[in-house]
Chain A
Amino acid sequence: MSGILGIAVTGLQAAQAGIRTTEHNIANVNTAGYRRQEVTFSATQPQYTGMGYFGTGVATDAVRRIYNQFLDNEVLQNQAQLSRHSTYATQAGQIDKMLGDGGSGLSSALDAFFDAANELANDPTSNAARQNFMSSGSNLAARINSLDGKLRNMRDSTNADISTLADRVNTLSSQIASLNVSVAQAEAVNGRPANDLRDQRDQLLAELNKLVNVTTLEQGDGMVNVFIGSGQALVVGNSANSMSTTLDPSDTSSRIPVLNVAGSTVQLDSRLVSGGELGGILAQREEVLIPALDDLNRIAMGLAGSVNALHRAGYDYTGTAGVDFFSNPLVAQGTVTGALEMTVSNDLLLDRQGYQITATAGGYDVTVLSTGVTTSYASVAAVNAAGLGFNLSVTTAPVPGDTWIMGDYARNISMALTSTTQVAAAGSTGGPGDNTNALALAQLRNDDILNNGTISFSETYAQTISRTASLASNADLSRSAYTALVEQSTADQLSASGVNLDEEAVNLIKFQQAYQASAKAIQVASSLFDELIGVLR
């Protein structure tokens, strides 16, 4: 008799468990990373009688979350690539627009400069033509300065972004490590899956994976180990290795992320970090930003080298020998006695950070700034023969100790002339009507000076633009592709794990009715008891 009540009670409990889980699902319909849960039931151990086995009710076995590991991984991988390409596309797009813009780009300024040289050749005695040549020269220099400044600002903000990302990675990895502990503890106590803690941890992993692509490995105790790069451990069980940044030894103006593992550090470059925002930033900087800065510097150096050499070979309005048109790329350090000039021999060999040149008793010491290596040369001719990418010439003999630095020229290039009289349009002292030097300056427009003497200034800049444009355009295409892939794989994942309110409504009704039925069974059992007690009364 008591079995009748007992069975109904298990039914009530099962229906309550069902309703509770359904409500939990409904409540979390908008929770990021939440996976729908369901209760599993089974019939309890039957009771044997002479007539056979009688059922004893229902047992609530477990509450489990519905998920598909394969679909989850699919989403993670696509998301890491989407973050990478999206970050890359945004930043490369900015540079692309900046370089190609008529207002801020270099193309129009280069054209205007050489047009002005032509006008000067057409009318070498005209003060207006001389003024125009000088202004277009200083405008060109200012354009280079401002483009260089904008690119440098982007490089600085890239450094700041990398530091911020490292901080966010650290926050997430330590949260994952502490959830590892919670999951392991919760599951060790009763052997049941800690559904909601696991959901939270998965969500943190997904967030982390947007910053840097990770691989995970679940341990027997429920903890996950998280790896980045080629297997560098970010989270091991209950502890997280911290990420920080350091200056790139080969380019001290760039910060790179490092992982601190067991007292030593691992530098993470774009080959190790291939996905996530961090991967996008590192790749973009390496492929778009730094090459654009380098190109700008090459253009500035080549321009100053060629224009200055020609301008010095000419004569100004008064028949005086010409001086530098653009500021000398060799910047004297302190007071120097001598004077040196440079031309570019092969721009592709120029060091990214520049050179320091010091006159010595026996010749010149040249330090390559990016490597710090100093080499001694017996003479200027020996420096020029060394294949450093530039040629020096001595205008005034230096004394030992005279030092110059040549680098960062795109930032420093400026107009060196102060009056229109100084414009050296003439190729001789024959008179102010001589335009031969102006003609030669105008013809620099199409001279193949850069890229080791194979292309002109404007072609070099055009190459910078087209290279940036194709990289930005590829990143755009990849972003669209991965956006679609992420949407598709997320839909697949949610199709398995997401909450459907209509479904839950049905479940609610289902468990409500089961509850009502069990309650009815209790009522029936109760009235049976009443009947029996009434008979005995």
Chain B
Amino acid sequence: MRVDTLTYFSTSLPGIRDNQTAIARLNQQIASGQRLLAPKDDPLDTEKVLYLSNRVATRSQHVANQDRAQLALKYEEVVVQEMQQSLSAARDLLRISPYNDQSLRNIHAEQLKGTFNHILGLLNTQDPAGNYIFGGYVTNSAPYANTSLSGATVTPLDTTYTGTTAPGGLRQIEIEEGRTVQVNDNLESVFLFTDSSFIDPANGAGPNQDDHDLLENLAYAIANLPGSTITVDEINRLALVIDTTLERLALVEHRVAGAMSEVEDARSSTKALLLQEQNALSDIQQVDQAAAIIELQLRQTTLEAANQAFARTSGLSLFNYL
């Protein structure tokens, strides 16, 4: 075939150009660690990357949500357990009160003051961010108030609840796509409950005789244990109020424990899937450094060969011999 001078000189060019392009690209890949420098490098893989990135972002957020839910539940669990301990101790005091003499009952009454204040304080527990955790949506003011012990003499008074009333006011956190978990409880029905099976000493018989108020009954015990008028039956019914409260509190504790194990389950599956998706993502996105460096070496050799070929052939001309 006849070859013209221009073609003769420029045949090495495509080889040099292609190798230079490949080397520049390999350099970029190795420096950035990314296999895909732009979506167009591999549209199909880009689609997978976008899908996986979205999944990873959503799941990472769910892991954060789960941490958050677990923290709130753990916090509540600790507070509920503290309430249980305090109330159990109070109940034990009342169970032995009828069989003690007056001086010991005076001491019991003083101890029950501690229980009263402790329980009221726990009902108004604030989380580390300063939000009241048992007031439902009302997180910015103490939801429970009882002023029975505030006066010069102890007077049993009703507990007032200013938080959100059940069933509303229960906060949910999304732990998986479309799945939420309840992370707080409304203790209104635990400490202010209705039970028609008995009449408590503080409230007495009357139109609201089915309603029972733990704090009011504690105040009643504090006010009356030092006196001589309180009967054994009354003391037993005071203990019954605490027992019922404890039963109801146990249900809350079970719910919290159930929610925690739900979060734990969700967390282990989310983390497993997250890991899998992160691996898949990095498999697609990341450059195989060893392979890239070997290819770079190969391209360099080819480029050098093309350069040499040009240098050697470009000097050939018949005019040199004339």
Contact = CB atoms under 8 A, between A and B. Distances in A.
A299 to B, nearest CB: 14
B294 interface: no
A154 interface: no
A122 B68 contact: yes
A500 B3 contact: yes
A495 B2 CA distance: 5
Contact of B174 (A99, A121, A499): A121
B40 A96 contact: yes
Given A107-B53, A495-B2, A118 B64 contact: yes
Interface stretch (B164-172, B200-208, B304-312): B164-172
Interface string B1-35: 11111111001001000000000000000000000
A435 B171 contact: yes
A119 B174 contact: no
A428 B137 CA distance: 9
Contacts of A432: 137-140
Interface stretch (A7-15, A194-202, A240-248, A467-475): A467-475
Interface in A83-124: 92-93, 96-97, 99-100, 107, 111, 114-115, 118-119, 121-123
Interface in B50-78: 50-51, 53-54, 57-58, 60-61, 64-65, 68-69
B65 A473 contact: no
Given A114-B61, A119-B64, A495-B3, A433 B322 contact: no
B177 interface: yes
A445 B60 CA distance: 14
Interface stretch (B41-49, B99-107, B250-258): B41-49
A514 to B, nearest CB: 16
A433 B174 contact: no
B4 A465 contact: no
Given A121-B173, A442-B174, A502 B40 contact: no
Nearest to B164: A430
Nearest to B57: A111
A529 to B, nearest CB: 35
A172 interface: no
Nearest to A317: B140
A47 interface: no
Contacts of B137: 426, 428, 430-434
Nearest to B45: A469
B6 A498 contact: yes
A461 B50 CA distance: 9
Given A122-B68, A494-B6, A431 B172 contact: no
Given A118-B65, A494-B6, A123 B139 contact: no
Given A99-B39, A446-B58, A125 B50 contact: no
Interface string B138-182: 111000000000000000000000011000110111100110100
Nearest to A462: B50
A159 interface: no
Contacts of B6: 29-30, 494, 498-499
B213 to A, nearest CB: 23
Contacts of A431: 135-140, 163-164, 169
A445 B43 contact: no
Nearest to B46: A469
Interface in A481-497: 483, 487, 490-491, 494-497
A145 to B, nearest CB: 22
B129 interface: yes
A92 B8 CA distance: 34
Interface string B273-299: 000000000000000000000000000
A450 B299 CA distance: 46
Contacts of A459: 54
A487 B171 contact: no
B317 interface: yes
B131 A501 contact: no
Contacts of B40: 92-93, 96, 468-470, 472-473, 476
A430 B61 contact: no
Contact of B38 (A97, A435, A443, A490): A97
Nearest to A475: B40
A214 interface: no
Contacts of A386: none
Given A430-B138, A431-B135, A505-B318, A498 B5 contact: yes
A125 B57 CA distance: 24
Contacts of A465: 39, 46, 50
Interface in A106-156: 107, 111, 114-115, 118-119, 121-123, 125-126
A42 interface: no
Contact of B14 (A126, A430, A487): A487
Contacts of A119: 64
Nearest to B163: A431
Given A462-B54, A473-B43, A123 B129 contact: yes
A498 B139 contact: no
B68 A123 contact: yes
Contacts of A114: 58, 61
A20 B207 CA distance: 131
A114 B60 CA distance: 12
Contacts of A122: 64-65, 68-69, 173
B5 A500 contact: yes
Most chain A C-beta atoms within 10 Å of own C-beta, residue among B2, B6, B180: B6
Nearest to A491: B7
A336 interface: no
A430 B143 CA distance: 13
Interface in B243-263: none
Contacts of B39: 96-97, 99-100, 465-466, 468-469, 472
A261 interface: no
A498 B65 contact: no
Contacts of B140: 125, 431-433
B71 to A, nearest CB: 10
B1 to A, nearest CB: 6
Contact of B54 (A442, A458, A498): A458
A287 to B, nearest CB: 13
A376 interface: no
A151 to B, nearest CB: 15
A505 B319 contact: yes
Interface string A496-514: 1111111101100100000
A466 B7 contact: no
Contacts of B57: 111, 115
A508 to B, nearest CB: 8
B139 A433 contact: yes
Contacts of B38: 93, 96-97, 100, 469, 472
A439 interface: yes
B270 to A, nearest CB: 13
10 contacts: A111-B57, A119-B64, A431-B140, A433-B138, A435-B172, A435-B173, A462-B47, A495-B3, A495-B7, A505-B318
Interface of B: 1-8, 11, 14, 38-43, 46-47, 50-51, 53-54, 57-58, 60-61, 64-65, 68-69, 129, 131-132, 135-140, 163-164, 168-169, 171-174, 177-178, 180, 317-319, 322
Lowest 7 A-B CB distances belong to which pairs? A498-B4, A433-B139, A431-B137, A469-B39, A472-B40, A431-B138, A430-B137
Given A111-B57, A122-B64, A433-B138, 8 more contacts: A118-B61, A122-B173, A433-B131, A466-B46, A472-B38, A490-B7, A495-B1, A499-B4
Interface of A: 29-30, 36, 92-93, 96-97, 99-100, 107, 111, 114-115, 118-119, 121-123, 125-126, 426, 428, 430-436, 439, 442-443, 445-446, 458-459, 461-462, 465-466, 468-470, 472-473, 476, 483, 487, 490-491, 494-503, 505-506, 509
